[in-house]
Each structure stands twice: as structure tokens, then as C-alpha cells.
Structure 1
Amino acid sequence: MPNLILLHGALGHSDIFNPYLGTLSQYFTVHTPLFSGHGETEIPAEGINTEKYTEELTLYCKENNLTDVFLFGHSMGGYVALCYAMKNPENINSIITLGTKFDWTEEQALKESKMLNPDAILEKVPKYAQLLESQHGQKWKQLLPAIADLMVDLGKNPPLKNNLTEIQIPVQIMVGDQDNMVTIEESMDVYRNLPNAKLAVLPNTKHPMDKVRPSLLLDVMKDFWNLS
């Protein structure tokens, strides 16, 4: 069976893909690795950035002898998938991204990173704080500033900017019509700059992976990957 890697977003967890595993495992050998700092994995001493996560994906594919890989990435996972494709085009079959933010500027990154304040989250959205603790343990408070640093780094040095034309493999860019972090316009702009891309706007869909209807997403996956 071909190999499919599902990549979670920043502050996400591979268990968000559980509703999809039953269907996708009919067509693929499915892999759900965790990026460092997430789940029970340690936050790297040198910090977190997209280059670090791209290296982790590269290492995962090498260690598991994965070639001709199918990739799905939610949010940051989609960004890392495309960074990996830039460096390892011969190893990828195709990519689907969902809710991936591409329009990173320093101003935008600082704005987003300021929202990752542990004390503010505890006070204003305690349910989200509980979710983060259940997924990442007590270190969730350290993971937030590490991800904030990743965002600031992206704002200063967005690796995909001006390099999208290098990615020749088939890519499906997806965004929810109610995503409050990613605009349809920036998704469309990336779609137009990728040489071999399709674009899908999911109706009545917000940014978080657990707000996406599995039946809807699976239908788009099946269509793009010609699964029957």
C-alpha cells in the first residue's frame, strides 16, 4: 500500500486524525508522527522553527524507508509538507494542505504570537487550556512561547515565499470559508503560483481540525487522490 503521512498543526496532536484513520487505512499505510514539543515529545533545546520540523519529517521518511509519499498537512503541517517538497521533490507523490497560512509578515507574526499567552488562555479560554494540557502535559505553557517564536521566525524568513514555482508535484490547497486565521485570498494566491495545483474552499468550515466535518474532507481527499 502507498504511504500517507498526516501532519498536525502547531499546538495540535496526531490524535485529531483518529476520525479519518478507518477510511484512509483502506487505501494507505497511514503515518501520524508528532512534531517535537507536542504530545509527550520534548521541546528541543535549540527551539522550534519550520526548518527544524522539515528536518524531522525528512528523518522520519528516511528511518521508515518511505518513498513516493502522499502528504496531508493541517495548518503548520501543510507548510512543513511544502517545505519538505521543495527539498525532496523526488520523494513525494502529492500534497493536500488544509488551513495553512502562507501570508506571513513580521507584523502578522507578532500579532498572532501575542495571542499565545498561557495566562491569558487560562483566564479567557480555560477549555482550550484543558485541551492543551491533556494533549501536551504540563509543558503546554512552555510550548506556547516556543510556537510564538516559530511564528516570528516565519514572519522574518518565510521559506516558501518566492519559491512556490519550484514545487512541481500535484498539490491541493484547501481552506475553510469560515477560517479566521487563513484567508481565501492568500490560499488562492498560492494556488495560482503553484505549477500543478487545485484549490478547494470547504463550506461552513472553521480553522480548527476538530471543527472540520470528516465526511466532507474525506470526499475531497478521495477526489484529489482518485480513491474509489
Structure 2
Amino acid sequence: MSAYPTLVLLHGALQTGASLAPLAAALAPSAQLVSLNLPGHGGSPVPDLLRLQDMVDAVIGDLDRQGIEQAQIFGYSLGGYVGLLLAQQHPSRVKGVYAHATKLAWTPEAAAREVRGLDPDRLLEKAPAVAASLEQLHSPQHWRLLTQRVADLLIVLGDRPAIDATVLSNLQMPVQLSVGDHDRMVSLEETVAAYRVLPQGQLLVIPGSAHPLEPSVQRRLAPELLRFLEWTGAAG
């Protein structure tokens, strides 16, 4: 058994485990890392319906296959949402959760705003480089199909959020939330509101950072994650 803490890295929607490579490289000397692709991502078959529950189950299944009884979770955006749900459903398996740029105030209006940005034709016209990247990341599956499934998931989240103040207030393990002060998707206000109901919460605001998890932001997060592991008593 490794003497290092085990840290699961969960990517955001329309990304893959490789999207967190700069963070993984910075953390590798100090943690046993588990990186995986969430269902429908990274070339895996795109289901008819993307469900948060299937994502939680996929993470637990991966931990079971590797014989990992308990781990820390880092999740970016959707990955943070999955990590918090995993902590709610399997508290004995989760030592702590670090969620960065994770939206925790979903409404139909918020979902509609995000879905507008996921229109494949709009992406091809306005951001062809993004569309090309999605095609490469998720080949041989069609990126248009995955984008539509993610949009459908966001609509469900807007109508029926899986995480609310009650869920957060019942999480007994350490949870850290962080957000960039220029994030247009996740507001500082909603992140502070979520932090305030956490029994063991910490909050970090990253200056000059927007929602996309650029390599420079990942490297900025690495020492914060190490401090999080120390705070939770997981660091070796």
C-alpha cells in the first residue's frame, strides 16, 4: 500500500482525465493519483442519457477495481459536483472533497445560459478550435452527440439540482471550495453561500482566474491541494 494519500482527479464536462495533466504532474511526487474518464467522455460510448448517478457509480467501480477503500477527491466543475455527490452517497469512501469552479446554484435560467453555449453549430462558427479539440478528445465517438447529452444533463440539473444546502450541511468530511474571481459561470456569491453551510469547509478565491482550468491555474491549485491533504490529515 502506498504511503502517499490517494487522490482521485475528476475532470469537467466535455473534458477527459488528460485535461488535468498539468495538475497531475505537479502532484505526482506527493500523492497516489487516480485519473479516469467520466461516462461518455474520452471515446467511451455515449449513453442515451448522461446521468450523475452513473458517474458516481463509475468512480466507485474504479476504486473497487483498484482495491482503494478510501480516497480524497478533486473535481473541476462537473467533476466537483460528482465528487460531492459521491461523498454524500459513500461517506466512508471519501476522506475529503476539493471542488474547484463547481456550480452549486442551478436554476432553469442558469442551465439555459450554459446550454446556449453548447450548440454544436454555434461552436463550429464561433469557436472552431474548440470544436476541433472536442472531436480529438472524444474520438471515435461524435463530439456533437456528447455535447447534446451534456446539454440535456444541464437542463435536468436546472430543473432538479442534486445538491442543495441540506446535502452540503450533512457532509461531515472536510470540503474545500475554490473559485476564480473572474468566473462567469460560477459566481463568488453562490460559492460563499455553499461554503457557509459546510460543517468542515474551507474557501479559496483565486485572483485573475476565469472558469476554464488553464494549465497555469492547475499549477496554482497544486500547492492548495497539498495543503488540503495536510488539513485533512491525509498527507504522508
Map of 1:42 onto structure 2: 45
Identity of aligned residues (%): 33
Q: TM-score, normalised by structure 2?
A: 0.91
Map of 1:100 onto structure 2: 102
Superposed displacement of residue 95, structure 1? 0.9
Aligned-partner SS, 1:213: helix
Q: TM-score, normalised by structure 1?
A: 0.94
**Pairing 1:113–2:115 present:** yes
Alignment CA distance shift 1:108-1:34 (3 Å)? same
Superposed displacement of residue 214, structure 1? 3.3
> Aligned-residue CA RMSD in angstroms?
1.5
Superposition pairs of residues 1-228 of structure 1, within 5 angstroms? 1=2, 2-45=5-48, 47-137=49-139, 139-161=142-164, 162-210=166-214, 212-226=216-230
Q: Distance in 2 between matches of 1:89 and 1:222?
A: 21
Q: Distance in 2 between matches of 1:203 and 1:118?
A: 31
Q: Distance in 1 between matches of 2:27 and 2:126?
A: 36
Letter in 1 for 2:207: P
Aligned-partner SS, 2:214: helix
Aligned-partner SS, 2:75: strand
Indicate the larger mover: 92-101 or 205-214.
Answer: 205-214
Where has structure 1 moved over 4 Å in runs of 4 or more?
A: none
Unpaired segments ≥5 residues, structure 1: none
8 Å CA contact retained: 2:77, 2:101 = yes
Indicate the larger mover: 77-86 or 218-227.
Answer: 218-227
8 Å CA contact retained: 2:22, 2:215 = no
